[in-house]
């Protein structure tokens, strides 16, 4: 009597970009616009970016400091982030993926406090096993500090990625940690996701957002 042993399917890993992929906004700028509707802080941030070339994560560290100097507390920032619009289809996809037993992780150029606040506010934090992004913490003086994922003293050297985070390197590290390589479903929208996408295999799935947030889709099509 012959027996056929069916191989178990590989595990599934769903990797979510955050801004414009899971939430329908840029969490970095959303909180600035919510707390400073005058636009003064954002106008100054844009000036710093244009005239001095301040790196984005460093700019966001400056911006949250400016918000606090203007009298907005860390708790006010958290409350503002709880109002961020979320893509309804993305929420449903998170729930379906969790129900199917897929592991889900966030890989984002936002920061850990913003992402965790928002995931908790919309009730899906338990669906994610990991969040990898820029650092954020409140120091002893009560000042919220945002720091780059990649230390400035240790450049990653990837020409496809911004200086603060190479998503491709993170994907490679994550995949290497599995005993059996998972099937990856990658959800993204921007140019910063492209390096990660180059690490996908033929059986993996890319879910790239369409216009107007279609920089990733445009790069993939090139």
The residues annotated as belonging to the active site are: 17, 19
Question: Rounded CA gap, 66 and 41, in Å?
Answer: 7
What's CA 135's distance to the chain center, in Å? 12
Phi and psi (nearest 5°) for 207? -110, 95
- Joined together, the tokens standing for residue 85 give 């619009």
Residue 48 is inside which H or E element, if any?
helix 40-52
Write the DSSP assignment of 123-190 as a string of letters. Answer: T-GGG-SEEEEEEEEE-TTS-EEEE-SS-TTS----TTS-TT--HHHHHHHHHHT-SSPPEEEEEE-S
Count the Cβ atoms, other than its own, within 10 Å of residue 93.
Answer: 18
Phi and psi (nearest 5°) for 132? -120, 120
């Amino acid at each position: 009597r012959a027996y056929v042993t069916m191989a178990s399917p590989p595990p599934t890993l769903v990797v979510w970009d955050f801004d414009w992929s899971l939430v329908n906004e840029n969490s970095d700028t959303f909180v600035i616009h919510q707390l400073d509707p005058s636009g003064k802080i954002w106008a100054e941030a844009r000036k710093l970016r244009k005239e001095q070339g301040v790196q984005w994560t460093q700019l966001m560290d400056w911006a949250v400091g400016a918000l606090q100097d203007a009298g907005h507390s860390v708790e006010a920032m958290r409350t503002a982030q709880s109002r961020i619009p979320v893509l309804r289809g993305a929420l449903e996809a998170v729930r379906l993926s969790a129900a199917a037993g897929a592991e889900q992780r966030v890989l984002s150029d936002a920061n850990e406090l913003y992402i965790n606040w928002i995931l908790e506010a919309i009730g899906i934090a338990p669906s994610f096993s990991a969040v990898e992004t820029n650092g954020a913490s409140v120091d002893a003086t009560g000042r919220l500090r945002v720091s780059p994922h990649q230390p400035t003293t240790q450049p990653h050297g990837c020409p496809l990625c911004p200086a603060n985070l190479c998503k491709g390197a993170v994907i490679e590290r994550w995949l290497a940690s599995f005993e059996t390589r998972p099937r990856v479903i990658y959800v993204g929208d921007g140019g910063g996701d492209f390096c990660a996408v180059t690490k996908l295999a033929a059986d993996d799935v890319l879910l790239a957002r369409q216009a107007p947030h279609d920089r990733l889709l445009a790069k993939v099509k090139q």
